[in-house]
Structure 1
């Protein structure tokens, strides 16, 4: 029976964890993790290893200095032809001109067309996605077929570039077109490695050079979900990072300026037997790259020119074939979800090691670190893009949930004890709240009501005045309601309602006494009507042993005593309030010259009750007696040190 019960408990616990895994899997199937997974891919690539400058690729940028002699803002056909002739002298393996006809101007282009016709390793570009731009006019069909590649890149939903085209059959065309980056890599690898472009083995629709098969993206590959912009043959770009050496960051590619090339201000080895890509260096001609670009690559820039982007696309293919650098690939869909489930179950299993909350959380952190490290090394060393984000989420949620479950039984007794203590504290707090509310009502509306009843009984108030007093009473009651609401939502309860003011109990005690004195004497009590002399002197005091609750009771005692003067000291002309330190005690004294006590026996009013409570708490002494020759003498003295 016990075994059955335990098995049932384990099943219930497993159902919770499997349910969480099921929710995460379902959310990923709906594509809700796409942004998070792409962001994770970016962050992992930012931590990639440093790489030296690519020795196979050189970029030549058309700079402003080279364009100065032109009559227009565009490069002339003849100037481009001269520049290409200069470059071809140094015998590059292949030259790619990443400039569409919209970047060129002039009427004489026969010299340029002749260069393309005579040099099969001279490539140019077109745009096959809207807005489409045709290749250079006048090229033969053979040149268009073999030496023209498209330079389009596809953007992700966040506007970043993470993918490159390898090839595509444009809509309305029967001809399969290759990208410029693929053509550059294809010519270079054929010349230097004797490798031709072939269909893939694992994926017949993919492309390969020798044993290196370029992973082909589909709309649901990796972290993508029904990505409509994934069509044709595309692959992820493994951006090349620079090399950090001695605190300096080298560029991933050698970059020459066209103005330096025509002056031969460069080394022959920079061009000879290399891939040369020619394009604009105009800062306005830039493409937003994904945050996947390694931090060491960007040199404090947040954008790359199209020229640089073409270089990264071609470089990853040549580097993969020549140097064995990884291309980014991904698991099949079942294996990706198996990866998520495994780490989700690992989160459930942490319960077994959770001998304490700290121990369980340390285990969770260790497994989470292992997951991140596995994802990082898989991507950096092998190019494998794992679903780290949903797996980590399944691990963390299950881990936290089951660590909590594991500790619930151990904490039960503690919680029971804490509950009993909390109930006792709640009862005490409720009692204090009732007392605070009663004190506020007693020293506010009840005092006003008592004063009004006395005036009506003695026929000393008109009907109009009665109405005014009732309005005052109504407002005081409403103010108390608002004050109690504020106290209810306040965590610290550091305020006390006196008259029309809400005083902060954290300020010094003598300042509180001054405020209470001012507020109370403004009330229309008969004992205050004939006062001619009001003497007050309150020395500063703020002893360490005086709690907020004690300060509240002292304030209530002081207010109640002043209210008693106002209600009972009829005919008083003098009121003296003093507070001073005598030896090691503080003495608060209120003396009037009113009608005095009617009975020698001290009544047990609210003020007397508060004074008695303070006597017990502060080890104080309360005195109230008739003053000589008339009036009342009231004093409360307590030890302050």
Structure 2
């Protein structure tokens, strides 16, 4: 009936509203968590993983690292390495005409012998670039009084997880706000690119950043990518590390002394001198590179080499720089995936299918994000979306599990009710008639034994039927007579079949019937479910059985189903002894409940001049308004009251 359809629709709408609200709450909470910075570590970790997934790259030919290792320290016999040793190495390197020589060794005090010679050589070498520290607590210059264009700071900033992902390219001098300082890495990259007539200039789309030709370095902002409220002072860029086991060609101090290298490794290249001895402690944490010899760590000179390589190759067009969307587009992306997630959780009811859909969506998200970073260097949010997918899946799975438990409870309750109805309309009716006959001494011993055997078979048949019905969910109904009817048939045909089968049962007062009337109008069934058909047939069967058991002296029985003005009335009337008690049995309660579910009413009363009328009436027109329904109910109510008052008045007269 339409009432069931509306009830189901309301339930669906309630579930949809609840699902949407929960989904939106999850999305909102994840966004709040991201804005609060609680997802930074997760987003950084995923970013590092993506970088480490890239295929291994070849050795960077533009840069040579002279790494002073443990063997070099033992060979020299002194640490720190004396300035004189550094001077000799620089002289040897200069003979091969490198574009630039960068000395990444922090010297806040002279290391004799050779300090004077080192300072003089550094000042005379136009391609020499030294380092300085401009931020506290370490603030010094390794080579004093170098021209500003040949010195760069080596200060870098760690993230909160102690890993290094950013490189500081420029910053105001803390001691003089009018003096702007550039980094060691930027100075080396600038020296290389200037040989190709590509000067360093201010940005165009972002005037606060830097550019070489048309390549503008994407400036790090406080909420850049997965960062939230981070100090973005100066000009910082995110580092696009090279990936592999052998990223730069590294030679030792002894290799340079013994000329154990190819001249082409130096000529027209950038040479960087730094410490590659673990004892020197010049190590930086990173998890963005796979295949490192030192797990999760690289030397400081390598870190600066990555920065130099990134700038040069980005300008020359071979590698992308790391950039992000604007914050608005990032949250549109998150909300878009949140909508997809909510849709999946609402459309897919199976937990396993939901898991498959979430896994597929997560894989698609990771693939899109990874290749976007790999090809274009675009870092898009992944962690918030994965959280939304995961949390919504868990909520959906919990809800579906709860619904499954409820469904099992409903099935069990339905099975119990079905069992009661089958037993009540079958064996119990037979047993009641049998008891009455025994009390009246109307059965012989042989007849009693036969009836008991039949009752035993009837009970067994019900057990087998209920088992099949529960397991196979058959769209059928077993009547108390043992007949099984197909509930897919039209309802008026089912009424005829229920009537014919029930009236033939061996119930005591069916034997006295002389007049039997039956008539059932056809009924449109677009709103009538299989379950409603089952309940209506059971109602008719029980009403007829009650006549056979209790209607003493009955000679006339009529069972009719009539349509009138959008209502259907199923009425069973007899002329037996009539109602003897006002006790409300379970059958009466079930009938009232059925009427309520159908949106109609149930009436059971004495008939005039004698007998009983049992009537179930409900609306069947799908377009019937609630106003007309209320009118019909009120009309029926007042008609019943009028009949009741008329009867009392007649009795009093």
TM-score, normalised by the number of residues in structure 2: 0.59
**Do residues 17 (structure 1) and 23 (structure 2) align?**
yes
What is the aligned partner in structure 2 of residue 163 from structure 1?
Answer: 166
What is the aligned partner in structure 2 of residue 185 from structure 1?
Answer: 189
* CA distance in 2 between partners of 1:351 and 1:136 (Å): 62
What is the aligned partner in structure 2 of residue 225 from structure 1?
Answer: 228
What is the aligned partner in structure 1 of residue 309 from structure 2?
Answer: 315
* CA distance in 2 between partners of 1:361 and 1:69 (Å): 62
1:163-192: CA deviations, max 9, x gaps? 11111113222311111111111111111x
What is the aligned partner in structure 2 of residue 235 from structure 1?
Answer: 237
What is the aligned partner in structure 1 of residue 271 from structure 2?
Answer: 276
Matched residue SS, 1:80: helix
* CA distance in 2 between partners of 1:323 and 1:417 (Å): 67
What is the aligned partner in structure 2 of residue 105 from structure 1?
Answer: 111
What is the aligned partner in structure 2 of residue 376 from structure 1?
Answer: 370
* CA distance in 1 between partners of 2:349 and 2:78 (Å): 77
1:130-176: CA deviations, max 9, x gaps? 2323224552xxx3311010111111112111111111113222311
* CA distance in 2 between partners of 1:159 and 1:108 (Å): 36
From 193, 201, 206, the equivalent of 1:198 is: 201
* CA distance in 1 between partners of 2:403 and 2:295 (Å): 55
Matched residue SS, 2:108: helix
What is the aligned partner in structure 2 of residue 59 from structure 1?
Answer: 65
From 282, 287, 292, the equivalent of 2:287 is: 292
* CA distance in 2 between partners of 1:14 and 1:353 (Å): 11
Matches within 5 A, 1:506-545: none
**Do residues 81 (structure 1) and 81 (structure 2) align?**
no
* CA distance in 1 between partners of 2:298 and 2:56 (Å): 19
Matched residue SS, 1:369: helix
In structure 2, relative to structure 1, the CA distance for the partners of 1:292 and 1:73 (3 Å cut) is closer
Gaps (5+ residues) in structure 1? 243-248, 423-641
8 Å CA contact 2:102, 2:128 repeated in 1: yes
* CA distance in 2 between partners of 1:287 and 1:71 (Å): 20
* CA distance in 2 between partners of 1:343 and 1:84 (Å): 56
1:432-462: CA deviations, max 9, x gaps? xxxxxxxxxxxxxxxxxxxxxxxxxxxxxxx
**Do residues 258 (structure 1) and 264 (structure 2) align?**
no
Matches within 5 A, 1:176-575: 176-191=180-195, 193-228=196-231, 230-242=232-244, 249=245, 251-296=246-291, 298-351=292-345, 353-354=347-348, 356-402=350-396, 405=399, 412-417=406-411
* CA distance in 1 between partners of 2:187 and 2:312 (Å): 11
1:501-531: CA deviations, max 9, x gaps? xxxxxxxxxxxxxxxxxxxxxxxxxxxxxxx
Matches within 5 A, 1:120-135: 120-135=126-141
Matched residue SS, 2:353: helix
Matched residue SS, 1:238: coil
In structure 2, relative to structure 1, the CA distance for the partners of 1:420 and 1:283 (3 Å cut) is farther
Matched residue SS, 2:243: coil
Matched residue SS, 1:169: strand
* CA distance in 1 between partners of 2:117 and 2:283 (Å): 35
1:463-496: CA deviations, max 9, x gaps? xxxxxxxxxxxxxxxxxxxxxxxxxxxxxxxxxx
8 Å CA contact 1:166, 1:233 repeated in 2: yes
Alignment length (residue pairs): 409
5-14 vs 158-167, which moves further = 5-14
Shift of 1:108: 4.7
Shift of 1:255: 0.2
Shift of 1:285: 2.8
* CA distance in 1 between partners of 2:282 and 2:415 (Å): 64
* CA distance in 2 between partners of 1:71 and 1:179 (Å): 32
In structure 2, relative to structure 1, the CA distance for the partners of 1:123 and 1:359 (3 Å cut) is same
1:182-206: CA deviations, max 9, x gaps? 1111111111x32111222232211
In structure 2, relative to structure 1, the CA distance for the partners of 1:68 and 1:30 (3 Å cut) is closer
Shift of 1:268: 0.3
* CA distance in 1 between partners of 2:188 and 2:15 (Å): 63
Shift of 1:41: 1.1
**Do residues 96 (structure 1) and 102 (structure 2) align?**
yes
1:526-580: CA deviations, max 9, x gaps? xxxxxxxxxxxxxxxxxxxxxxxxxxxxxxxxxxxxxxxxxxxxxxxxxxxxxxx
8 Å CA contact 1:348, 1:402 repeated in 2: no
Shift of 1:57: 0.6
8 Å CA contact 1:49, 1:380 repeated in 2: no
Matched residue SS, 1:126: strand
8 Å CA contact 1:350, 1:402 repeated in 2: no
8 Å CA contact 1:170, 1:176 repeated in 2: yes
Shift of 1:104: 4.7
* CA distance in 2 between partners of 1:71 and 1:407 (Å): 72
8 Å CA contact 2:322, 2:379 repeated in 1: yes
Shift of 1:403: 5.6
TM-score, normalised by the number of residues in structure 1: 0.60
* CA distance in 2 between partners of 1:11 and 1:420 (Å): 28
Matched residue SS, 1:75: coil
Shift of 1:372: 1.1
In structure 2, relative to structure 1, the CA distance for the partners of 1:359 and 1:90 (3 Å cut) is same
Shift of 1:65: 4.8
8 Å CA contact 1:343, 1:392 repeated in 2: no
In structure 2, relative to structure 1, the CA distance for the partners of 1:137 and 1:24 (3 Å cut) is closer
8 Å CA contact 2:345, 2:392 repeated in 1: no
* CA distance in 2 between partners of 1:255 and 1:239 (Å): 17
From 116, 122, 134, the equivalent of 1:116 is: 122
